[in-house]
Structure 1
Amino acid sequence: MIRKRTNDNRFNRFHHSSLWQKCTNFRALKQLHAFLIVNGLNSTNSVLRELIFVSAMVVSGTMDYAHQLFAQITQPDIFMWNTMIRGSTQSLKPATAVSLYTQMDNRGVRPDKFTFSFVLKACTKLSWDKLGIVIHGKILKSGFQSNTFVRNTLIYFHANCGDLAIARALFDDSAKRDVVPWSAMTAGYARRGKLDVARQLFDEMPVKDLVSWNVMITAYAKLGEMEKARKLFDEAPKKDVVTWNAMIAGYVLSRLNKEALEMFDAMRAMGQRPDDVTMLSILSASADLGDLEIGKKIHRSIFDMRCGDLSVLLGNALIDMYAKCGSIGNAMEVFQGMRRKDTASWNSIIGGLALHGHAEESINQFQEMLRLKMKPNDITFVGVLVACSHAGKVQEGRTYFSLMRNMYKIEPNIKHYGCMVDILGRAGLLIEAFKFIDTMEVEPNAIIWRTLLGACRVHGDVELGRRANEQLLKMRKDESGDYVLLSNIYASQGEWDGVQKVRKLMDDGGVKKKVGRSLIDADNSFLMHFLFDSKPKFVEGS
């Protein structure tokens, strides 16, 4: 009895202390947990609730730790279940929320309105429409559909990945007095490409919240309608980081990179703090512009913003930017300074090194990646095969191509086949290259035949060059460079009749020689096409 009173006193002192407020990082969280164990408070339900809440919802990046703590609780109450489901829904692994809900159901714990809402949000995030419809059925059975919070989440789910007709029926019922379902319906129509309906809803909204403004600006920006997006942006009474990110990403997507950089400068001038999403878009803009000085300035901004601690995504984007700007030394420095690396990190540096002629180092990095048990993907093998081509390593190229198929079970795509043709062609193994093309499981494209035609020119093989050119002409007859390559092959062997025949073909087909084309241009285009996806992607904020 005395011990219980002592524990109660300890709990009261702890509960009213400022320790929870000081728990702002992983280290503090672990110290707090240790404090609870030492003071015998780790079995008190009230304390456990707060500990779970802080680890799942307050401290960033500690969701895995929250799961470890939760697994040790023998009888978690509904608040703990809901907190874990909610935290999982907001994490990078929303499927875990569904798994927790299933465990909860199996244990006979009765869900409440919050449980259903959090699970529905996970289904929406995962686009699991069938499971969401099952959850809707359970909501009806439990009598929660009339609850405003649950109904709004149902509208959000159906508008985004469920049945738009059901969303509209729920919305038309009694939800029109609430701004949240208005925003959900607007977003649903916009994301499904029904922008006219979305705009009509937006214009009819009695009160427009920031979410609805962001939805419409993002929708226009994604479609590349930047004038409409900019008009709404200028009219918006309030702007947050998502608003600015939508505009910046939209400009990048439309390849209006200078406008993206100007918007970024305006964002900072207005006192809005950029986040990782902003910086990813801006790095993409500077990479596409090929402006190293701007890229370095952005790098410094990221360093100051994150106190030198790079996220994996930002690190990868910096490597990509430096590689595209021709500064492979800076790219390597970023790579080596990253505390955490994923497959994309290795791909960026392997591909960047290969692109800039550092073939041996590219292959060495690939070997190091394998040594560290990092699993390569299809993009990794494109990079290392290009490196093998530049280094003239035919046997290594064959080995890696085989390794990709046999050990990692990656089926080669047109890029891998193209790299192998390039490897064989550069090495003068033209007959083998032709046989290799015949065994390909995908249809060879113009890039592959042009690569082989270029190799025939380098090695002076008229007959095989003519065969490659015939295949090219079946695909495209208006590309002057293809004719010029064949003409050069004839000329290098002194076959002037052949040169005249090629010129006659061009004249008869109305093909005019383009100025300034060369094999170097073609080769660089090949590498850029195969190593880097130069088309920017729309990056959304949360």
Structure 2
Amino acid sequence: MVNKGSKKKKKRASMACNAATPVFPVTVSTLVCATCCKYKLGKPKMRCRFFHMYSVPPKEQKPDGVSCNGLGIYDSNHYACLLQTLIDKRDLRQGNLLHAHFIITGIIKDNSFYGLKLATMYALSGSMEDARQLFDKMPQRSASLWNVMIRGYACNGQGEETLRLYYQMQDTGVQPDRYTFPFVLKACAALLDLQRGRDIHRDIVRFRLQSDAYVGTALVDMYGKCGSIEDARELFDKMPKTGITSWNAMIAGYTQNGFAEEALELFLRMQQSKVMPNVITIVSVLPACAHLGDPQQVKDIHDYVVINGFDSDVSVGNSLVAMYAKCGDIETARNIFDKMCKRTVVSWNAMVAGYQQNGYSNEALNLFHEMQASNVIPNRVTVVSVLPACADMGDLQLGKDIHENIVRDRFDSDANVLCSLIAMYSKCGSVEVARQIFDSMSTRDVVIWNAMIAGYTQSGHANEALRVFCQMRVANIKSDSITMLGVIPACAQSAALQQGKVMHAYIMRSGFELGVAVGTALIDMYAKCGRIRVARQLFDKMPKRNLITWSTMIAGYGTHGQGEDALALFQNMQQTSIKPDHITFTSVLCACSYAGLVDEGWQFFESMTRDYSIAPRLCHYGCMVDLLGRAGYLNEAHDFIEAMPVKPNASVWGSLLSACRIHGNIELGEKVAEHLFDLDPEDAGNYVLLFNIYAAAGKWDDAAKVRTAMKDRGLKKTPGSTLIEVNNKIHAFVVGDTRHPQSDQIYEMLEILERRMEDAGYVPDTKFILHNVEEEAKEHMLSVHSEKLAIAFGIISTRPGMPIQITKNLRVCGDCHTATKFISKIVRREIIVRDANRFHHFKDGICSCSDYW
């Protein structure tokens, strides 16, 4: 007779797991063995002796796993193998399930090894919260466990927590080792915390690990990333043995700190030392070549990459795209991008950023759409490149769409993304939305403050930019050079000379290094605030100047009508190693135009292509039209436009229409105006220019038709406003303004000036007033123009003999120009007027523009 119990045992034994049985997830809390759970013949609930659960594994799942023993029970070796598999695969889901099993069975309480492995799995999978909960519950914490946690925090970008844990580790009596310090130093590098990096260095010396190659390389990397490249090089040179990782760290340090020549020199020395470069080396060297911008060097390194087979690596391909884009060779960058066998999101980002940085914003947006169509998911870096392209193209709607995606993908906690959003909304004319984003942030670092200041400055809200800077100082946020690059242009924009001087003093007092960027901004500020001599003195004192510095100084001379000084400076520049670009030539041609240097302008225009291979752009054609038109060569200017290889825009035709106004050419003015009305029918300024041409010729019927056309289109002349700075405060005036606290004294001074001007022969020029009113009313309107109010306020508010400087948002009107000449002679003061086009220096009844502006 057969024993029923023994049959049952045999049946169960036959169902036991055999070798190589995979592990399947079935619920949120457990795993099951595939063979332990039979699902044939409609019998799904066979008990698994391993997990003590009833479950059915999905037939389609075939994940890798570790075998159990013949009885379906795992031993310690199998657990160890299973844990290592989960660590290698970063399999957080299955790791959670196995962790649950350990808790149920109580295994983890008696085995710190399993706790270490689970913590490693969580840390490497990015789940530091789970890792920390496990860590805090572990009764025994070895140095290895502390190292796992420190590594996890460092690799997940939590630098402060990394350092906090490092000090806790020592407080509990556990000594750091060679596996601790590299990740602690990584945290210091990520935080750019040089001081704490030095403190860690002292600990390394105390624990006698300074000769360890692993630790030494981490020190070199930390010093390089924290900007202390001299310390990095000193350590590198003292290392007893330098492997490929050490060389890479030093080369990357040089590249990241702008020492491109040193990076390339070390790259050559590395090969001479018979240390073969790897992919990381190449990725570190290529940006150095981009920084130098030497075409031959770029070609040589590209040939080296191809010959040694590095070009098949996707990260090298990405770096090649970025290198050519930074060198301005966007066509080659795109060719490399198109030929890449594999493209990651980094590849797309490099090409999108390349287009945007080289001024091809439309192409950047097209590529972004192509990226989305290719099912490549954009990341934070993509957003930071695409938003500036939206701003450049004025595509507010696309910017809003991207903003919605940012919120959906939870990128709105990233400072760089928020800065890009603030800049995009500001440049697209929605600075109020930018401010809402700024105000909604609970914490703001200097980068966010800088973005808001720059946003206000770039959108023309200079006073708001200065106000935010004051709020920033009240909030005890330490400003940096980027802050100054937002604040100084705001001073220039509002012609706030005194505030600009305060900023200059603040820079000197705060110990800022007067670098090229800040120095150039100060030169621009002094030039735009009417102090061209101070700008030149600062220019001469700068130890280093770049192309932008030279171009800014040349442009400053040009707007002040000092064309000969501008050309002399350009000749000095040509004697240096700095080559002019299209912006420099724009400054030079504008200087020729303002000074009436026609022959010189032609020579420079032809030199662009002949000597520098710079193809003229619309701005250069516009400068030439302005140059010819101002000098009275109206027909030549018109012929020049007709012969242009590119279609003229409203700016080019507008320059010719302004010239027709200056020289009273009605016939040509009418033709030019028709072009402008077709190109930009909503620009009221074009109608005003044509009205002035008719009014100057006494053709009142035609002038009235222009006024009627404006009215029918609902167009209004932009209201004129004038700013003047007195005692560090900006005062604004509009026509007929009576809101100023000293309004009574201002109008009293105006009456005195009017009587004295009439005695000197001044006659109000009413022909340019658009309104259909009586002559007496027109004269009154002229007498209360914003320029005159600001000048009168300057006279009563400053000491006799002091220069008076005002800023007008529009081109100064003909009557005010004449009146200011009289006033400068009467009060014996220099009056500096900056209008929308240029500077006018009035002195002794004469204007620097020679009455052509």
> Structures share a fold, TM > 0.5?
yes
> Among residues 534, 541, 563, which one is paired with 1:359 in the alignment?
563
Secondary structure at the aligned position of 1:303 is classed as helix
Residues 210 and 122 from structure 1, CA distance in 2 versus in 1: closer, same or farther, beyond 3 angstroms? Answer: farther
Structure with greater proportional strand content:
2
Pick which of 252-261 and 440-449 moved more.
440-449
Is the contact between residue 425 and residue 434 of structure 2 (CA under 8 Å) also seen in structure 1? no
Q: Tell me the percent identity.
A: 24
Tell me by how many angstroms 1:349 deviates: 0.7
The code of the aligned residue for 2:275 comes to: P
* Cα distance in 1 for residues equivalent to 2:615 and 2:345: 44
Q: Tell me the equivalent position of 2:259.
A: 62
Q: 1:59-98 alignment to 2 at 5 Å? A: 60-74=257-271, 75-77=274-276, 81-83=279-281, 85-86=283-284, 88-89=286-287, 93=291
Asked if 1:400 is matched to 2:604, the reply is: yes
1:62-106 CA deviation, whole Å, 9 max, x = no partner? 23202111112224356x651552475599649999996984564
Alpha carbons 1:343, 1:375 under 8 Å: kept: yes
Residues 128-167 of structure 1 aligned to structure 2 (within 5 Å): 131=336, 137=342, 163-164=371-372
Query: Can you give the 5+ residue segments of structure 2 that lack an aligned partner in the other structure?
Result: 1-209, 354-367, 391-397, 712-768, 772-781, 786-811, 818-832, 840-853
**1:483 equivalent among 677, 691, 697:** 691
Corresponding residue for 1:447?
A: 654
The structural deviation recorded for 1:50 is: 3.4
CA contact 1:86–1:97 (8 Å) conserved in 2:
no
Q: How far did residue 383 of structure 1 move?
A: 2.7
- Aligned to 1:163, the other structure's residue is in SS state helix
Paired with 2:303 and 2:413, the residues of 1 have a C-alpha distance of 35
Q: Could you tell me how far 1:354 is from its partner in structure 2?
A: 1.5
Aligned to 2:461, which of 240, 250, 256? 256
Of residues 360-369 and 389-398 in structure 1, the stretch that sits farther from structure 2 once superposed is 389-398
Change in 2 beyond 3 A, CA 1:501/1:318? same
Partner AA of 1:378 in structure 2? H
- Between the aligned partners of 2:286 and 2:457, the Cα distance in structure 1 is 31
- The answer (yes or no) to whether the contact 1:89–1:118 under 8 Å persists in 2 is no
Distance 2:292 2:341 in 1: 18
1:378-457 paired onto structure 2 within 5 Å = 378-429=582-633, 432-433=636-637, 435-437=639-641, 439-441=643-645, 442-443=647-648, 445-457=652-664
Q: Give me the whole-angstrom Cα distance separating, in 1, the residues matched to 2:387 and 2:624.
A: 43
The 5-angstrom pairing of residues 151-300 of structure 1 reads: 163-164=371-372, 183=380, 193=398, 195-196=400-401, 198-199=403-404, 202=407, 205=410, 210-211=413-414, 214-216=416-418, 218-224=420-426, 225-300=430-505
Report the CA distance between 1:376 and its aligned residue. 2.1
Contact preservation (8 Å) 1:132, 1:157: no
CA–CA distance in structure 1, aligned partners of residues 336 and 431 of structure 2:
36
What is the alpha-carbon distance in structure 1 between the residues aligned to residue 624 and residue 352 of structure 2?
Answer: 47
Distance 2:347 2:554 in 1: 46
Name the CA distance, whole Å, in 2 between partners of 1:158 and 1:456.
49
Counterpart residue number, 1:6: none
Greater relative contact order (Cα 8 A, min sep 6): structure 1 or 2?
1
CA distance in 1 between partners of 2:512 and 2:501 (Å): 16
* Higher Cα Rg, which structure: 2
Distance in 2 of aligned mates of 1:30 and 1:159: 35
Paired position in structure 1 for 2:177? none
TM-score (norm. length: structure 1): 0.68
Deviation at 1:53, TM superposition (A): 1.8
Corresponding residue for residue 813 of structure 2: 518
Q: CA deviation at 1:348?
A: 0.8
Mapped to 1, the partners of 2:349 and 2:623 lie a distance apart of 46
- 1:320 shift after superposition: 1.9
| Length-normalised TM-score, structure 2 | 0.46
**Is this contact kept in 1: 2:251–2:267, CA < 8 A?**
no
Alignment RMSD, CA only?
4.7
Structure with greater helix share of residues: 1
Worse overlay, 409-418 or 321-330 = 409-418
Q: 2:464 & 2:707 partners in 1: Cα distance? A: 43
**Amino acid across the alignment from 1:298:** M
Partner Cα separation in structure 2 for residue 426 and residue 110 of structure 1: 55
- Aligned-residue offset at 1:27: 6.0
Rounded to whole Å, the distance in 2 between the matches of 1:439 and 1:158 is: 35
Q: 1:120 to 1:88 in 2, by over 3 A?
A: same
Which stretch shows the higher mean deviation, 345-354 or 440-449?
Answer: 440-449
Matched residue type, 1:222:
M
2:524 matched residue in structure 1: 320
